[in-house]
Amino acid sequence: GAGVSQSPSNKVTEKGKDVELRCDPISGHTALYWYRQSLGQGLEFLIYFQGNSAPDKSGLPSDRFSAERTGGSVSTLTIQRTQQEDSAVYLCASSSDRDEKLFFGSGTQLSVL
């Protein structure tokens, strides 16, 4: 595609529910990144994929968070048993390879009530 696409753009959920966020990177980009930005806060790195592999998952805030990438393309970020502190904008970026220019999606605004 022309750019990084994220869906949904907005998600409102109840505390305790599971949510799944999707990222479609630019075609051919091998590196894919997930970040989040809480209201009024800075960017927080969550996880990086090179191909389908995530070498380091230590950036995920808790074991309620998981991410996968299949076919070297689409990635999903799953948050189980959502909590109010999970409310944030979840951003995805891709690049042609690690340490190359990043291209960001427009994010998913997650609100946990």
Partner 1 sequence: KNEVEQSPQNLTAQEGEFITINCSYSVGISALHWLQQHPGGGIVSLFMLSSGKKKHGRLIATINIQEKHSSLHITASHPRDSAVYICAAITGNQFYFGTGTSLTVIP
- What is the contact surface with partner 1 in residues (CB under 8 A)? 33, 35, 42-45, 48, 55-56, 58-59, 89, 91, 93, 98-104, 106-107
The minimum distance between CB 104 and partner 1, in angstroms, equals 4
Give the nearer residue to partner 1 in terms of CB position, either 55 or 71. Answer: 55
Give the nearer residue to partner 1 in terms of CB position, either 19 or 54. Answer: 54
The minimum distance between CB 83 and partner 1, in angstroms, equals 22
Give the nearer residue to partner 1 in terms of CB position, either 63 or 99. Answer: 99
CA 15: distance to chain centroid? 19
Q: What is the DSSP string of 66-101?
A: EEEE-TTS-EEEEESS--GGG-EEEEEEEESSTTS-
Which residues lie below 8 Å from residue 49, measured CB to CB, with a gap of 6+? 31, 32, 33, 67, 69, 75
The minimum distance between CB 99 and partner 1, in angstroms, equals 4
Q: Are 33 and 26 in contact (CB under 8 A)?
A: no
